């Protein structure tokens, strides 16, 4: 009995082997891209240092002077990262786990800085904002590397 379905060769559809090769090539390409999304060592360290320094400047009452260089440093680090890695994407929201880590990081930084501001401006505890900024800077470095590792893992897994 003959089938009324067209054969893959006659319909222009790939055969099973060609489809397996294409899937293998896609997986290999995904693995190559996942390797290139890692941030260089200086990116997260630079962000952490920038956050710590701007908080120290706030404690010294130099916030009006420090905000401009802080914004330029953050934008410059982002520009340099894009130029260095050759890959542009929102690493902090690109995968579900990375977005969860980033959300927890942002919440922790907000609590830290708000606590430092409350202590320093409300209860006159000198250097509280700088201390909170130092902790937020270290957290920036740690969570930045954690997000990078999570994005690499999830991209390799095809998520």
d(CA 157, CA 123): 50
Check the CA dihedral 143-148-153-157 and report its sign. Answer: positive
- pLDDT of 23-33, one tens digit each? 888 777 777 77
DSSP secondary structure letter of residue 126 = T
- pLDDT of 116-154, one tens digit each? 999 999 999 999 999 999 999 999 999 999 999 998 888
Compute CA distances 158 → 123, 145, 153, whole Å.
50, 20, 9
Which residue in the block uniquely carries the two structure tokens 């800077």?
A: 137
Q: Give the global pTM.
A: 0.81
Q: Give the per-residue pLDDT at 29.
A: 75
């Amino acid at each position: 009995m003959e089938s009324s379905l067209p054969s893959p060769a006659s319909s222009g559809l790939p055969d099973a082997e060609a489809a397996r090769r294409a899937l293998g090539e896609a997986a290999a390409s995904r693995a190559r891209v996942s390797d290139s999304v890692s941030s260089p060592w200086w990116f997260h360290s630079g962000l952490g240092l920038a956050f710590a320094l701007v908080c120290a400047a706030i404690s010294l009452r130099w916030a009006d002077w420090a905000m401009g260089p802080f914004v330029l440093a953050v934008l410059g680090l982002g520009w340099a990262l894009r130029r260095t890695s050759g890959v542009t994407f929102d690493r902090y929201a690109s995968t579900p786990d990375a977005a969860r880590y980033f959300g927890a990081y942002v919440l922790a930084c907000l609590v830290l800085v708000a606590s430092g501001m409350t202590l320093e401006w409300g209860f006159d505890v000198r250097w509280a904002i700088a201390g909170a900024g130092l902790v937020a800077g270290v957290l920036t470095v740690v969570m930045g590397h954690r997000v990078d590792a999570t994005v690499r893992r999830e991209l390799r897994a095809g998520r």
